[in-house]
Structure 1
Amino acid sequence: MSPIDVLAVGAHPDDAEIGMGGTLAKLADQGYRTALICLTKAELSSNGTVEERQKEAANAAKVLGAERMQLAFPDRQLSVYRPDCIAALVKVVREYRPKIVFAPNKEDRHPDHGHCSEIVKEAVFSAGIRRYLPESGTAAYRPTALYYYQINGVIKPDFVVDISGYVEQKRKALSCYKSQFNKNEQSAATPLNTGYLQAVEGRERLLGNEAGVTYAEGFLSDRPLLMSNLIGE
């Protein structure tokens, strides 16, 4: 398999699209090879079927110019299958050798997002250990950086990415998830179909305003970010 530049990991289809859809679209437009991977198929979601969600996820990835991979660990049981999840992600990281990996922010109202965050952090670290899973046949490799995107709520980010020119593309990608964000007579009321997308866009408008742009997505980093050019000339 040829290497990718960016790997965005989510617990469910739509996680990364919510948190960093604009950034993924921007990176793809800049010529970087990007990929999404989901740990579960979100089979316990209140609305939509697994089959519908898979089609929606494939369409959303296409809109963002990203490749897509799907694992099939049981929804709401990531903590139970934690060692297996870590091992599976280690194999993906070693095989595709992404420069940067993104995971959900650990501090999130949905427990799966927090579990996913911890699993990704361990996998990124373990992927660089030569004696971890030597039987996998893949050489040890550790990405340059691991960053965290926000799904629910508002955080004070360590850095933001200007997505002003890509917000429409993000809207289009999220609109693919009709089973999750559109409410009809058959669907159950959830946080996702009661003004959720408007709240996400409002958050990005706020972050953009604080950074001096129209829209921005915020990210966290475990390590200090090195500024190579303070003047910016």
Structure 2
Amino acid sequence: MIAEQPLHILAFGAHPDDVEIGMGGTIAKHTASGYRVGIIDLTEAEMSSNGTVELRKQEAERANVALNVTVRDNLRLPDRGLRVEQEHIDAVVRAIRYHRPRIVFMPYWEDRHPDHIQCSRIVQEAVFNAKLRRYMPEMPAHQVEQVYFYFINDSVSPQLVLDISDVYEQKRQSLLAYESQFTKPNGSDDLVATPLNQGYVERVEARDALLGQGRGMAYAEGFMLKGPYQVSLFK
């Protein structure tokens, strides 16, 4: 079974909020232009120090509204248990074949969080396997046209940069939707201090502003590729 309408873009993250951190502005910019964009979270972030699975689901729904995504799903793979193994790869293959995206985004292959690295490796394997017609033949094979990598915690000089200045408020609102993750403990609540609630959103905004600064943009998001980027003309 496949979706009635294919997606233009499908973005994968290990946890709800990963995609918003790395490319929330890119999603908002494309949905505003009429593109069908989906997000797939591999885990429910059940190992997070703050919040609950149910609360994180509600926060993701609010982020979806801010970014106007077409569809969002969660594969419910184990948080802190992601592995490059067939069960996890096949779950992503099914998502790719079901939604038939033209473009797939995933976390950059180097990051201080092991789950982000594992997510990147799993999705890379799945993108390759999804095009093999004898692999999981119960679903039609699908060839993704292009793969891009977004940054979460750690970054290098990007190969591609997108101006997201005009939609930055939408990205900001998608991040602020995750109150359980980014709200600083005040001593009277059940939150504990983590790197995420010690000014993390402000650091993401500063990173996006710094990336745009040298290019005459208020805010930008950067991306990497592993293969050549094809153009028809240099302009």
| TM-score of Structure 1 vs Structure 2, range by shorter chain | over 0.9
1:26 aligns with 2:34: no
Q: Number of paired residues? A: 228
- 1:227, CA displacement in angstroms? 3.2
1:74 aligns with 2:78: yes
- Is contact 2:110-2:154 (8 Å) kept? no
2:171 partner SS: helix
AA partner of residue 45 (structure 1): S
- Superposed, 1:61-140 pairs within 5 Å as 61-66=64-69, 67-79=71-83, 82-134=85-137, 137-140=138-141
- 1:210, CA displacement in angstroms? 2.2
CA-atom RMSD in angstroms: 1.0
Partner of 1:168: 169
The two structures have a TM-score, normalised by structure 1, of 0.95
1:36 aligns with 2:39: yes
Distance 1:14 1:163 in 2: 18
- 1:95, CA displacement in angstroms? 1.3
Distance 2:136 2:127 in 1: 13
The two structures have a TM-score, normalised by structure 2, of 0.94
- Is contact 1:148-1:219 (8 Å) kept? yes
- 1:154, CA displacement in angstroms? 2.9
1:211 partner SS: coil
- Is contact 2:209-2:218 (8 Å) kept? yes
1:154 aligns with 2:155: yes
Distance 2:232 2:142 in 1: 25
Distance 2:230 2:141 in 1: 25
Q: What 5-or-longer segments of structure 2 have no aligned partner?
A: none
- Is contact 2:104-2:146 (8 Å) kept? yes
- Is contact 1:25-1:65 (8 Å) kept? yes
AA partner of residue 119 (structure 2): C
AA partner of residue 228 (structure 2): P
Distance 1:210 1:109 in 2: 26
Distance 2:215 2:144 in 1: 27
- 1:138, CA displacement in angstroms? 1.4
1:15 aligns with 2:18: yes
AA partner of residue 77 (structure 1): G
Distance 2:202 2:155 in 1: 14
- 1:190, CA displacement in angstroms? 0.7
- 1:229, CA displacement in angstroms? 2.7
Distance 2:102 2:155 in 1: 27
- Is contact 1:175-1:181 (8 Å) kept? yes
AA partner of residue 14 (structure 1): D
Distance 1:161 1:82 in 2: 33
AA partner of residue 37 (structure 1): I
Q: Identical aligned pairs, as a percentage? A: 50
1:196 aligns with 2:197: no
- Is contact 1:154-1:203 (8 Å) kept? no
Distance 2:122 2:216 in 1: 34
Stretch deviating more after TM superposition (89-98 or 206-215) = 206-215
Per-residue CA distance 1:91-131 (angstroms, 9 max, x = gap)? 11111100000000110000000000000001001000011
- Is contact 1:103-1:120 (8 Å) kept? yes
Runs of 4+ in 1 over 6 A off after TM superposition: none
